[in-house]
Structure 1
Amino acid sequence: MLKLDAFILGEFLFLSVSAGGGIAWIVSKIFHGSSEGLALLCGGFLVGLLTLDIIPSALKMNQLSGIVLGVLIGYIFLAVVNNLFFTSKSRKPSISLLILALFIHTIPISLSIGNLLGNSTIAVSITTSTILHHVPEGFALTSAFLSQGKKIMMLFVCFISLSVCFSTFIWIGLHANLTIRAQSVLLGTSIGMIAITSVKEFILNNIRVVPTSLLVIFLMIGFLLSVIFHMVF
């Protein structure tokens, strides 16, 4: 039986997000030449991911007050960053802020896995969760990159960095405990950042660019894809 450690789980995460990225690349071929359509699809997918997976999981396992505080922190942080660094109409912040939000989202999950890793009876469960849970995140990141014409090499670097972050905080979780409230605040911060980024950067920025009928179609396709991911993964 494979002995799990932080490094092995980091490799599993890389494979997981890469699989999600491959699915996003296939889907993008259907909407070739429509960056706005891909952006809207990504926004709809992220909204579905939040409502079907991330928010219910956070409410089930963490303190509501901490999550609310984290959402507020995420909102304030994004407002400050946008006002200080992204005052132009450039659409670049959507990528950087989404990446940051997903990195923050990974931290409490990694710490929790680190705390549980010494229990061999849940090794298979941890492995399965690690592989499957991050497929949608790989899909979302890849869709965002493709919608803005970013280089695939940068996406590859992002996947590697996410895996390193995951492994690092698993190792920290092996040696230190993070309070439930602190984990709740981190999860809330990531929820707030993902929600605002998906709505503002991917949906609202493209709402006037495509016809209303296509707008609804792209958003619904993105949301339905998140439903499928939720059912399968």
Structure 2
Amino acid sequence: MALGGLLFFSISIGGAVALFVSRLFQHTTQGLSLLCGGFLFGLLINDILPSSLKIYDSFGIILGFIIGYLLFLILHKSFHPTTSLKPSLYLLLIAMLLHTIPLALTVGNLLGKSNFGITITTSVILHHLPEGFALTIALLSQGDKLWKLFFCFIGFSIFFTIFVWIGHFTKLTDQGQSMLMGVSIALIATTSVSEFMLHNVRTVPRRTFLTFILMGYLLSYVFHIMI
């Protein structure tokens, strides 16, 4: 439960940073969507992909990526019509939840062991700052109410706590964790490109389009340096 509380604190800080950034752009829908797309793309390039390829099995990641892309096609048609210009928060939330599972299981396996300490706890806190930022920007870009964000963060923390508990008593195979990471990577990649970038490519001038994406990427790089 304590780790779930720390995760809630972490993603809330990321959300607070996103709120501050959104005020700089006066909650412009297209701008926030492009900013989020660039941020997610940078998060993949700078953090998720390198660390996943270093830790997990490449074949499992590739297989999971294929499954994740097929899942995206299904969810994309289920959650909103193809004519909608609003990005899907649900797709991003599912991707982030799947991305959290391997970390939660690892933490659960380490509970009660001598090597579980301040380093792991700090990693848990810092690791979810970008998730809080991305989810908040995604919600704001859709014009949704902030109270939905609170329940989203609470649910995220409960989900993490449950899988920490599962990891304490069971162990998911390396192949299984690799596939989960592959699915997560596919959903984040397809959501960032299709939902946040391509939906807005014709709604703003090209220079504005590239500027917001670059700013989002640079923000992800700042987070990468921090964690």
Question: TM-score with structure 2 length normalisation?
Answer: 0.97
The 8 Å contact of residues 27 and 141 in structure 2, kept in 1 or not, is answered as: no
What is the number of residues matched between the two proteins?
227
Name 1:208's counterpart in structure 2: 202
How far off is 1:89 after superposition?
Answer: 1.5
In the alignment, which of 101, 113, 120 is matched to residue 119 of structure 1? 113
- Sequence identity (%): 51
Paired AA for residue 158 in structure 1 = C
Residue in 1 aligned with 2:168? 174
Question: How far has the Cα of 1:59 moved from its partner?
Answer: 0.7
Distance 1:41 1:84, change over 3 A: closer
Q: From the superposition, tell whether residues 146 and 83 of structure 1 become closer, same or farther in structure 2 (CA, over 3 Å).
A: closer
Tell me, which stretches of 5 or more residues in structure 1 are unaligned?
1-6
| C-alpha displacement of 1:90 | 2.1
Distance 2:94 2:221 in 1: 24
Question: 1:149 maps to what in 2?
Answer: 143
Q: CA deviation at 1:117?
A: 1.8
Matches within 5 A, 1:101-120: 101-120=95-114
- Which structure 2 residues correspond to residues 1-233 of structure 1 after superposition, within 5 A? 7-92=1-86, 94-233=88-227
Quote the offset at 1:24 in angstroms.
0.4
Q: Secondary structure at the match of 2:143?
A: coil
Q: Report SS of the residue matched to 2:88.
A: helix
Structure 2 contact 87–142 (Cα < 8 Å) conserved: no
Assess, with a 3 A threshold, how the Cα gap between structure 1 residues 127 and 218 changes in structure 2: closer, same or farther: same
The normalised TM-score by structure 1 is 0.94
Quote how far apart the aligned CAs of 1:118 are: 2.2
Contact 1:74/1:190, CA 8 A, preserved across alignment: yes
How far, CA to CA, are the matches of 1:170 and 1:52 in structure 2?
26
Task: State the secondary structure of the residue aligned to 2:202.
Answer: coil
Report the CA distance between 1:57 and its aligned residue.
1.0
Q: Residue in 2 aligned with 1:3?
A: none
What SS class does the counterpart of residue 228 from structure 1 fall into?
A: helix
Once the two structures are TM-superposed, the CA of residue 84 in structure 1 deviates from its matched residue by 4.5
Retained in 1: the 8 A contact 2:12–2:153?
yes
Given that 2:80 and 2:88 are in contact with CA atoms closer than 8 Å, whether structure 1 keeps it comes out as no
For structure 1, which segment, 67-76 or 104-113, has the greater mean C-alpha deviation from structure 2 after superposition? 104-113
Q: Deviations over 1:123-165 (max 9, x none)?
A: 1111000110000100000000111111111111010000000
* Cα contact 1:10–1:167 (8 A) shared by 2: yes
Runs of 4+ residues deviating >6 angstroms? none
